[in-house]
Structure 1
């Protein structure tokens, strides 16, 4: 069941909890576009793990109010506000795909509260030195970031109609996406349960507008608002070598630039391979320093 929490500036944030209500808290930050209904372990699995999983719609998605012009760093403020409202002091964070940079913001900006951070199929910052940012990236994503460089209005003119197409027929949109995936991803997305989850996720995230999608892409394309070198929490990164949405070199670059970060690359996986390791990373992130 979803409910509303107020951010510190009065915006509404739509939040859900799953698993053990008395368990170890972990925030799971969704992809782009997406919503709190995105990929996550089943509640029964989370309960057995002793995990209290918190998901929320980033600003502009679902029922969460937009925060126009937000940077990646803004996610830390919203996570802190939700944690305060739920009476949570320290927590783990896992971010997948578009949620991954936002998870790193929590590590950098909430160092006393963020215990561990799992980062799955992440992008690197747009100003990453010695990284060919677009190399290996699918044409659709390159096109979105090129439009972002031209300005918010240009990007909105592209993603607005695209979001309407997804809303009109989520199943057809997921099927169309699947046709262009690497073989390892096609096998994962062929699962009927995963297809249905992706359809619900996209439909909920884009239900009100494309604002969240636009604001995510703009945020990824500009300065993130924090220093990766200042991260002190344990960070574990995972990527599939065949990823075409966020190429694997982005994670390798992050691994070189985040102190003490651990990097795991799966040669036979791509973007949606993250769904197969997500439960493991949530379990790892749920523990405090010195625990399992």
Structure 2
């Protein structure tokens, strides 16, 4: 089911929720979507969580999927939104799982909401920005992020002529998009058709101060990284793990940016064992 949550500052967030699927005390998983995406529930995520009887919640970040845009938002603002979502749904605690651009937002929630996020996992997650070679190394198409380093207006101008570079995906990525993760490609296309606001604001947030200290993440944290990822290269996984006191890195050398999602069931297993 989908619902609207109105924030204290008058915005609307579109929230998707499987609802209670077992007992009221069964675990809750909060999915932080990639960039771009609509925030809709993805069947492979729901299916993997159902094994545990887990309820799955996802929401569209500002500018995506009907949620009100919030120009100038930082990564940490996700924690403010998540608190209001959990409160509206009557949920005390939720395990955070973030993919790609959702990774920073999941980690920010873990850093700022330790009492409500018992553990966090990210797949192909973006690392905190440093404008030096390792952060950019291995990115096949960094144009949008490079434009974002010059501010929101520059990133919005870049979006006017931006096209998708197929070289960012390796062969296993395309196979995943033609198979179990076909829904991901369709969802991204739907998000793109609604306009660039969400992606523009995401990119600017990634290359700006996040507003959350990952050193404050004291909970168990899992980082899953594909060795052939040409969107968020392996250096990001290595950088993330250095910030996380209880971090664990799973390096999957053959995976690209999409094929790494084959690890979703394993990551959910790991997360929900942290109870």
Asked if Structure 1 and Structure 2 have the same fold, meaning a TM-score greater than 0.5 normalized by the shorter chain, the answer is yes
The alpha carbon displacement at 1:119 in A equals: 0.9
What does 1:124-139 align with in structure 2 at a 5 Å threshold? 124-127=127-130, 132-138=134-140
Aligned to 1:200: 186
Tell me, in whole angstroms, the C-alpha distance in 1 between the residues paired with 2:230 and 2:47: 32
Question: Secondary structure at the residue paired with 1:53?
Answer: strand
Change (3 A) 1:44 1:273: closer
Aligned to 1:183: 171
Question: Secondary structure at the residue paired with 1:63?
Answer: coil
Change (3 A) 1:260 1:194: closer
Tell me, in whole angstroms, the C-alpha distance in 2 between the residues paired with 1:146 and 1:226: 22
Aligned to 2:52: 49
- Judge conservation of contact 1:25–1:51 (CA < 8 Å) in 2: yes
What is the TM-score when the length of structure 1 is the normalising length? Answer: 0.86
- Judge conservation of contact 2:45–2:265 (CA < 8 Å) in 1: no
Segments of 5+ residues of structure 2 without an aligned counterpart are none
State which of 238, 241, 248 in structure 1 corresponds to 2:227: 241
What is the TM-score when the length of structure 2 is the normalising length? Answer: 0.91
Segments of 5+ residues of structure 1 without an aligned counterpart are 166-172
Would you say how many aligned residue pairs link Structure 1 and Structure 2?
Answer: 272
What does 1:1-292 align with in structure 2 at a 5 Å threshold? 1-18=1-18, 20-21=20-21, 22=24, 23-37=26-40, 39-41=42-44, 43-127=46-130, 132-138=134-140, 140=141, 142-162=142-162, 177=166, 180-191=168-179, 194-195=181-182, 197-287=183-273, 289=274, 291=275
Q: Runs ≥4 in structure 1, deviation > 4 angstroms? A: 42-45
Tell me, in whole angstroms, the C-alpha distance in 1 between the residues paired with 2:213 and 2:89: 28
Change (3 A) 1:61 1:243: same
Deviations 1:7-65 (A, max 9, x none): 22221000111274343111000001112236452645533321100011100001100
- Judge conservation of contact 2:226–2:255 (CA < 8 Å) in 1: yes
Tell me, in whole angstroms, the C-alpha distance in 1 between the residues paired with 2:74 and 2:130: 14
The alpha carbon displacement at 1:187 in A equals: 2.2
Tell me, in whole angstroms, the C-alpha distance in 1 between the residues paired with 2:242 and 2:146: 26
Tell me, in whole angstroms, the C-alpha distance in 2 between the residues paired with 1:8 and 1:286: 31
